[in-house]
A and B are shown apart, each in its own frame.
Chain A
Amino acid sequence: MTDATANTPAAPKEGKHAGSLFDADARTQKRNASEARFRALGLGAIGIGVAALIVLLVSILSQGLPAFQQTFITLDVYLDEAKLDKNGERDIEKIKKVSTFGYAPLIKNAMTSRNEELGIDMAALGVSDKEMSAMVSKEAAAQLRRFVIANPDRIGDTVEFEFLASGRIDGYYKGRVTLESAERDSNVSPGQLQYADALKEGGALSTHFNWGFLTMADASENRPEAAGIGVAMIGSLYMMLVVLFLALPIGVAASIYLEEFAPKNWFTDMIEVNISNLAAVPSIVFGILGLAIFINYAGLPQSAPIVGGLVLTLMTLPTIIISTRASLKSVPPSIRDAALGVGASKMQSVFHHVLPLAMPGILTGTIIGLAQALGETAPLMLIGMVAFVREFPSAPPEGFFDPASALPVQVYNWTTRADPAFVERASGAIIVLLCFLLCMNFLAIILRRRFERRW
């Protein structure tokens, strides 16, 4: 074969493979075309998935990030002894008798003096006294009262406080409320907004990061600015603890028995089928089960993390069992043979060799099960965790029996409320929930990498 003939098509030949290798025949072209079509389809599918994810993230972040910012009004409040402690005895019981109504005038006085200081003319803005008081959150008086009860010796002093601005004023700085919309709004007047601008110019009003969103409890309908996810986070944490300490040992023990010790017969086959079926049962069914058994029959308290944890344990068990069995199965039988060959008992071979090798898979499955449980809403609503809870549950173990909320339920709860400020907070809670889920999945990946061993 010389160079001259190398790149020119060979003469046509007879037989099955007639024709040059340089031009693809019809069959090959067809095959290549269908492969190209399939690749395009796959790319398209991935593109749609990624686009949906981006749209979701952008919408949640744009709606929810403002929830972490809050508008505050700084006031110097004179803690008037004549109003808070008439006799000057500093008796904590007597001070406690003064309700939040008693504190409201102090805030009003503080605002008036701040106006004088900054030279703001309320009459010119058309803001009445009542409207002026409505600038700060209704939570402010409660905040003041908590401070006084904690520090009775400060009565008579003038103390600087940072109060939450009311939801509408906060919305003005987040673009939710405008001067035009305020005309039609019975809760806020354009004058109040101009007054807020004047306060901001004078440095008495500022917007910054709001830790309260993460630490405070839920708040009622008319004070969205004070609502936080503190109770919901603790409730979710307690439930995850219950799930972890119940579902992991039960699930792993069940899988080890089924995979390594149980005889293979119709009975174990049936159990296996039923476990797979349980994994597919709608979660609300577990809620009904929990309501019937744990609350109605066993008499456990409603809205308690222990009940939520038990229900979520039932829900997570199949996931953990299935993933644990899969990772036990993936340990090569030669390892079991090796252990048995040197005279280890069945149990020693499982616990010394098989289980450590299956650990990464077990942990990954458990964390994914926990993440699934963390985001579950429906069963929790049935056992009363949708209730409005202001009180923080106490420390474990008593805290497991105190009423609490849960993150996804809190999100649901807020989206059903009328005030648009709650939509922002619901999105903020979703961001926190997503952060937890991301952290858990990240942990699963790290554990898998860390403990992965080759054989």
Chain B
Amino acid sequence: MNDLRPVERTVDTKEIKFDCSDVQVHYGATHAIKDVAVKLEDKTVTAFIGPSGCGKSTFLRCLNRMNDTIDICRVQGKLLLDGEDIYDKRVDPVQLRAKVGMVFQKPNPFPKSIYDNIAYGPRIHGLARNKAELDEIVEKSLRRGAIWDEVKDRLDAPGTGLSGGQQQRLCIARAIATEPEVLLMDEPCSALDPIATAQVEELIDELRENYSVVIVTHSMQQAARVSQKTAFFHLGNLVEFGETGQIFTNPKDPRTESYITGRIG
């Protein structure tokens, strides 16, 4: 458990991006998320950890209303993005998702060319006025996704032909091409090998400069490496939320301590 040594971090008080309180999620008769209240800061990486089935992915998917696609899912409570309730009747989830991007567990590039994968979001949101601007967005996104050098000569090749790690970085590049303010990542490295994982983690650290990043992970080492804030979920409850260093070295709740030391999970 050497990796769990807390990194020296300077956590400044930043403005709050997401202010969630009293969030309840029901899947049919199952109460999946209970009374969760959390404040996610801007330009910060927040990690959600916890055993399987504890609700961390469910909560993440509430943040851009991806749960809307599941018929039996009901979300209650207050989720304020920059002070606006994203579950308000007037909010169009499509507009919200342009602001809150998402990277999924399994790399899921479109079966189109690498170029079209990146250009799709900007096209449907009308971010580029002409081809030159679109080219620029594609290049910038691929550079920020740390994959430009590997694919710049074959932008017309299918995105599905890349390796797993490249595909995931392509998906990250695709998510940031629409200039979101928050980036949600649902176990982005679980399908990747250690080298690709390191590349993605490095990328997440760079993304922190511009975005608020929320990452769900099963790897506590990863949470310790990339995040400034950590939230520990257990059985649908948010057990503890605090600075990453404090969570891993000096957890206040006995359940957090048991999980981190490997006794529950």
**Size bracket of the A interface:** 20 to 34
CB distance B108 to A338 under 8 Å? Answer: yes
Interface 1/0 per residue, A345-386 and B, CB below 8 Å: 100100011000100000000000000000000000000000
Cβ-neighbour of B178 out of A264, A332, A343, A345 (below 8 A):
A343
- The residue in chain B whose Cβ has the minimal distance to the Cβ of A341 is B102
User: B161 CB to closest chain A CB, in angstroms?
Assistant: 9
Residue in A closest to B121 when the chains form the complex, CB atoms: A342
B96, closest chain A residue (CB):
A343
Q: Cα distance A64–B174 when bound, in Å?
A: 61
A344 within 8 A of B: yes
State the Cβ distance, B221 to closest chain A Cβ, in Å: 26
Contact indicator B108/A337 (Cβ below 8 Å): yes
CA distance A418 to B187 in the complex (A): 77
Within the complex, which residue of B95, B106, B175 is in contact with A342, where a contact is CB–CB below 8 Å?
A: B175
Please tell me which one of the listed residues B64, B66, B108, B177 contacts residue A334 in the complex, with CB atoms under 8 A apart: B108
Does chain B have a CB within 8 A of A335? yes
Chain A residues positioned under 8 Å from B103 (CB to CB)? 341
Interface mask (A414-455 → B, CB under 8 Å = 1, otherwise 0): 000000000000000000000000000000000000000111
Other-chain contact of B111, A342, A344, A455 (Cβ < 8 Å):
A455
Q: Which residue of A lies closest to B103 (CB)?
A: A341
Q: For chain B, residues 156 to 192, give those with C-beta under 8 angstroms from any C-beta of chain A.
A: 160, 171, 174-175, 177-178
Identify which of A341, A453, A454 contacts B104 (C-beta below 8 A).
Answer: A341
B1 within 8 A of A: no
A340 at the interface (CB under 8 A from B): yes
| B66 and A343 contacting across the interface, CB-CB below 8 Å | no
With beta carbons under 8 angstroms apart, the residue of A337, A340, A352, A453 that contacts B120 is: A352
- Structural contact, A343 and B110, CB atoms closer than 8 A: no
Residues in B with CB closer than 8 Å to A353 are 110
B6 to chain A minimum Cβ distance, whole angstroms, is: 32
Contact between A334 and B106, CB atoms less than 8 A apart: yes
Say whether, besides A263-B71, A348-B124, A338 and B109 are in contact (CB < 8 Å).
Answer: yes
The winner among B66, B103, B120, B121 for most chain A CB atoms within 10 A is B120
Interface of A is mostly: helix
A454 with B111, Cβ < 8 A, contacts A341-B102, A341-B175 known: yes
Cβ of B98 < 8 Å from any Cβ of A? Answer: yes
Chain A residues with Cβ below 8 Å from B98 are: 342-343
B101 contacts the other chain (CB 8 A): yes
Instruction: Across the interface, name the chain A residue whose C-beta is closest to B65.
Output: A340
Report Cα–Cα, A335/B121, bound state, in Å.
14
Please state if A341 and B111 are interface contacts (CB–CB under 8 Å).
no
Write out the residue numbers on chain A whose beta carbons fall within 8 Å of the beta carbon of B104. Answer: 334, 337-338, 341
- A336 interface residue (CB < 8 Å to B): yes
Taken together as a complex, chains A and B put the C-alpha atoms of A357 and B108 apart, in Å, by 14
Given that A454-B111, A455-B111 are known contacts, is A341 also in contact with B106, CB under 8 Å in the complex? Answer: no
B157 to chain A, nearest CB (A): 13
Partner of A453, one of B66, B111, B121: B111
Known: A341-B66, A343-B124, A343-B125. A335 touches B110 (CB 8 A): yes
Contact of B101 among A332, A342, A352 (CB under 8 A): A342
- Of the A-B pairs whose beta carbons lie under 8 Å apart in the complex, a sample of 30, sorted by A's number, is A263-B71, A332-B108, A334-B104, A334-B106, A334-B108, A335-B110, A335-B111, A337-B102, A337-B108, A338-B171, A338-B174, A339-B120, A340-B97, A341-B64, A341-B102, A341-B175, A342-B98, A342-B101, A342-B121, A342-B124, A342-B174, A342-B175, A342-B178, A343-B98, A343-B121, A343-B124, A353-B110, A357-B111, A453-B111, A455-B160
Show the binding face of A for B, using Cβ within 8 Å. Answer: 263-264, 332, 334-345, 348, 352-353, 357, 453-455
Interface residues of B (CB under 8 A from A): 64, 66, 69, 71, 94-95, 97-98, 101-104, 106, 108-111, 120-121, 124-125, 160, 171, 174-175, 177-178
Known contacts A337-B66, A343-B121, then 14 further A-B pairs from the complex at CB < 8 Å, ordered by chain A residue? A332-B108, A337-B104, A338-B171, A340-B97, A341-B101, A341-B102, A342-B98, A342-B178, A343-B94, A343-B101, A343-B178, A345-B94, A454-B160, A455-B111
